[in-house]
């Protein structure tokens, strides 16, 4: 009954078109009423406490870093480097997209920001070269969702806070799975693009490659600073986000000189608006998380999944299928915030490594960004590329299937996530 009231009120509010953050608050209020705990002061206090978190300060700074990188020329230089390295291959612009997506993922951690930059820079080039626009849009969308997996990742920050798991370990554990996602997309592109008879761009000479590498060096140094700093204990993930934003600002203003001081206000406002949406979702979800704990819903779920607890692989497959279903109708951040407090007790009861589960969970939620009907990243590509949503959805299908294949490969072979992590710890 408790589960029915919580989910029923949440889904009913969303069906009425109420924003997800307000829907979470309404479902929390409904659950409080059912438990005879309704108190406006408790509701307000949990909402405020939900956003009062030092680790969550990483979110606005990574958002700001992404805005600065796109406006300050860092993202464009990454694309130019990828074009110089692999642009001459058959279907080369597709490989450029994948390489650029992996490099940009190591800079910002925002799927929306990276996808918007890739779509603006590469989609016109791919269409002009003769590639099918829907397929090119689908490739860019699927490449954009690598950003929440390769560190630094905003998704890992939110999950780490919600699940009380080391964000640094999540960052390091996401490197190999993120690269595997890139390889899977590239292999799928090779398969679908080999039927196209398109002349690739001319091969870049040694001097051109060296020039592209030299111009992008300042951008490439950033992920090294973040990862080395985290591994050596120089700064926390939150401080790493500040370092990323300040470094990107310095490079954009003083090195590349493409960002003027008068442009900063607009960037700060854009980052602030995006951050406000995320943080309000976090604050509202913490009310639901507290009530879920009070109502003992995790224990009920553990009881329901008890037959699967002895088989970790089967349990993970069941959980991943559940998250896939939720991801088709809900965005990444609310999915993390709603399901994490419910699923973590099950994961711990089964003896599954929380860091390993966190990586699988975030990959699954990232794929949810390109699964219709919601598909936030699909909407970004459709908006930037002036395409119909149906076209982008059709183009993303083969790449989305490749991402799901990587997800279930990681479920079957946990060593692909855990073994690289052991090299750092």
Quote the mean pLDDT of the chain: 83
Q: Is 103 domain-assigned?
A: yes
- Provide the domain limits for residue 273: 39-424
152 DSSP assignment = S
Q: Is 33 domain-assigned?
A: no
Q: Is 32 domain-assigned?
A: no
Q: Is the pTM of this model over 0.75?
A: yes
For range 373-396, the mean pLDDT = 83
pLDDT digits (tens, 9 = 90+) for 187-234: 999 888 877 777 667 777 788 888 888 888 888 888 888 878 877 778
For range 302-329, the mean pLDDT = 83
Q: What pLDDT does residue 296 have?
A: 67
Q: Is 49 domain-assigned?
A: yes
pLDDT digits (tens, 9 = 90+) for 269-305: 988 887 887 788 777 777 777 776 677 666 666 677 7
Reduce the DSSP state of residue 290 to 3 states and report it.
helix
Q: What pLDDT does residue 146 have?
A: 93
For range 146-175, the mean pLDDT = 89
Q: Is the pLDDT of residue 245 over 70?
A: yes
Q: What pLDDT does residue 153 have?
A: 85
pLDDT digits (tens, 9 = 90+) for 136-154: 999 999 999 998 999 888 8
Q: What pLDDT does residue 50 have?
A: 67
Q: What pLDDT does residue 83 have?
A: 79
90 DSSP assignment = T
Burial (CB < 10 A; 0-12, 13-18, 19+), residue 39, is: exposed
Q: Is 172 domain-assigned?
A: yes
Q: Is 161 domain-assigned?
A: yes
Return the closest-CA partner of residue 142 out of 383, 380, 385, 321.
380
Q: CA 144, CA 120: separation in Å to the nearest integer? A: 12
Burial (CB < 10 A; 0-12, 13-18, 19+), residue 174, is: buried
Q: What pLDDT does residue 177 have?
A: 94
Q: What percent of the chain has pLDDT over 70?
A: 94
Q: Is 11 domain-assigned?
A: no
Q: Is the pLDDT of residue 53 over 80?
A: no
pLDDT digits (tens, 9 = 90+) for 190-200: 888 877 777 66
Domain count, the chain: 1
pLDDT digits (tens, 9 = 90+) for 12-32: 877 787 877 788 788 778 877
Q: Is 322 domain-assigned?
A: yes
Q: What pLDDT does residue 327 have?
A: 79
Non-local CB neighbours of 174 within 8 Å, separated by 6+ positions? 149, 150, 151, 153, 156, 359, 362
Q: Is the pLDDT of residue 412 over 90?
A: yes
Q: What pLDDT does residue 411 have?
A: 94
pLDDT digits (tens, 9 = 90+) for 331-370: 788 888 888 888 888 898 889 999 999 999 999 999 988 8
Q: Which of 80-94, 121-135, 265-279 has the lowest mean pLDDT?
A: 80-94
């Amino acid at each position: 009954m408790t589960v029915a009231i919580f989910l029923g009120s949440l889904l009913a509010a969303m069906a009425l078109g109420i924003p997800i953050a307000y829907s979470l608050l309404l479902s929390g209020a409904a659950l409080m009423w059912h438990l005879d705990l309704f108190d406006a002061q408790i509701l307000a206090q949990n909402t405020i406490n939900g956003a009062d978190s030092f680790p969550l300060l990483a979110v606005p700074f990574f958002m700001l870093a992404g805005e600065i990188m796109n406006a300050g020329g860092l993202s464009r230089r990454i694309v130019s480097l990828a074009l110089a390295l692999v642009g001459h291959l058959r279907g080369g612009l597709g490989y450029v997209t994948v390489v650029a997506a992996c490099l940009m993922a190591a800079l910002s951690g925002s799927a929306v920001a990276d996808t918007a930059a890739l779509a603006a820079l590469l989609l016109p080039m791919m269409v002009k070269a003769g590639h099918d626009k829907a397929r090119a849009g689908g490739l860019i969308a699927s490449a954009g969702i690598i950003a929440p997996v390769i560190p630094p990742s905003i998704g890992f920050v939110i999950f780490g806070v919600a699940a009380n798991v080391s964000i640094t370990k999540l960052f390091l554990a996401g490197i190999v799975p993120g690269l595997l996602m890139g390889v899977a997309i590239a292999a799928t592109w090779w398969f679908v693009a080999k039927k196209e008879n398109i002349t690739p761009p001319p091969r870049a000479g040694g001097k051109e490659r060296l020039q592209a590498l030299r111009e992008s060096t300042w951008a490439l140094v950033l992920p090294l600073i973040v990862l080395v700093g985290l591994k050596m204990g120089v700064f926390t993930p939150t401080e790493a986000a500040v370092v990323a934003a300040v470094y990107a600002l310095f490079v954009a203003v003083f090195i590349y000189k493409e960002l003027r001081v008068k442009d900063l206000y607009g960037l700060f406002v854009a980052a602030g608006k995006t951050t406000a949406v995320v943080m309000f979702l976090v604050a509202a979800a913490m009310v639901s998380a507290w009530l879920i704990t009070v109502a003992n819903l995790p224990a009920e779920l553990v009881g329901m999944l008890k037959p699967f607890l002895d088989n970790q692989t089967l349990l993970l497959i069941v959980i991943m299928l559940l998250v896939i279903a939720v991801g088709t109708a809900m965005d990444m951040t609310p999915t993390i915030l709603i399901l994490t407090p419910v699923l973590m007790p099950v994961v711990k009861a089964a003896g599954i490594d929380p860091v390993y589960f966190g990586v699988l969970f975030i990959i699954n939620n990232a794929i949810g960004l390109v699964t219709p009907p919601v598909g936030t990243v699909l909407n970004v590509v459709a908006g930037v590329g002036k395409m119909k949503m149906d076209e982008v959805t059709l183009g993303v299908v083969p790449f989305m299937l490749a991402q799901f294949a990587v997800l279930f490969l990681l479920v079957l072979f946990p060593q692909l996530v855990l073994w690289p992590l052991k090299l750092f710890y």
